[in-house]
Amino acid sequence: MVRRHVSEIGRAVLDCVTVRRCVACGELGMELCAPCARLLDERRAPWCDRCGAPLAPGARCTANHRWMRNITIARAPFRYAGTAGALVRRLKFESDRGAGTMLAAKMAAAMRVWAHRDGRRAVVVAVPLHARKRRGRPIDQAAFLAREVAGRLGLTFADHALRRVRATLPQGDPRVTSRDRNVEGAFRVRRPERLRGRVVLLVDDVTTSGATARECARTILRGPGGARSVALVTACVARG
């Protein structure tokens, strides 16, 4: 009797460990169910070397690279529309590490060539969350992705390398008329000695206009004690 009881508990525990759920919608079954996999909008190589936009083989990028001021190269394996956006939201609002891990694996893959060349000794830095937002959320999604990407590429993660020094409106807020002005001077480097003269890989969940990443890069590079260069990887782009 006792033994049967124990084996039932054992089975229940085993079920919890082995039952797979779709990381995007929670449906039982595969790691990513068929409908979610169909709606995963992946930006596949070949990419533009500079901005990471997918190109036809042999084609030249016609995108405007002005948004990349202070950023050497940018990569994002997914478009925000569809399943990748759902994965970002699951990571952000439900602290779903499975969703985050799936995004980070593709982000690391997109940076692998760079990490073997220019980024060999790069330091990984996350775009900081608002202190106010941080309090309400169990997970800092950019820091989670940065740590995962660093681990997969064998790079150092500089935790809390940047901090917000003033409150900004969310970039998507209708009151924001200039995304650049909204984040201007909003960040500071903590312990600059960790970044001085280094190649930095900046990590965030989503880029839209790129204004936040640009301002973070400017802050990281600023002054004689600044970093050498900044590359950017995000899970998704919300445009193009």
Q: Which is nearer to Zn ion, 5 or 66 (CB)?
A: 66
- 78: β partners: 42, 236
Q: How far is Cα 197 from Cα 1, in angstroms, rounded to an integer?
A: 67
> Alpha-carbon dihedral of residues 51, 57, 62, 65, nearest 10 degrees?
10
Task: For residue 83, report the phi and psi dihedrals to the nearest 5 degrees.
Answer: -65, -35
Q: Which is nearer to Zn ion, 61 or 139 (CB)?
A: 61
**Given the DSSP bridges, would you call strands 162-164 and 187-189 parallel, antiparallel or unpaired?**
antiparallel
DSSP 19-67: --B-TTT--BSSSS-HHHHHT--B-PSSB-TTT--B--TTPPP-S-GGG
List C-alpha distances in Å: 136 to 93, 126, 133, 141, 237: 10, 19, 5, 13, 25
Least distance in angstroms from the C-beta of 117 to Zn ion:
18
Least distance in angstroms from the C-beta of 22 to Zn ion:
3
Interface residues toward Zn ion, by CB under 5 A: 22, 24-25, 27, 33, 36, 48, 50-51, 53, 61, 63
- 21: β partners: 28
Q: Which is nearer to Zn ion, 36 or 227 (CB)?
A: 36
Q: Which is nearer to Zn ion, 36 or 110 (CB)?
A: 36
Least distance in angstroms from the C-beta of 30 to Zn ion:
8
DSSP 148-166: HHHHHHT-EE-TT-EEE-S
Q: Which is nearer to Zn ion, 24 or 88 (CB)?
A: 24
**Given the DSSP bridges, would you call strands 78-79 and 162-164 parallel, antiparallel or unpaired?**
unpaired
Tell me if 152 sits within 8 A of 104, measured CB to CB: yes
Least distance in angstroms from the C-beta of 207 to Zn ion:
13
Q: Which is nearer to Zn ion, 150 or 233 (CB)?
A: 233
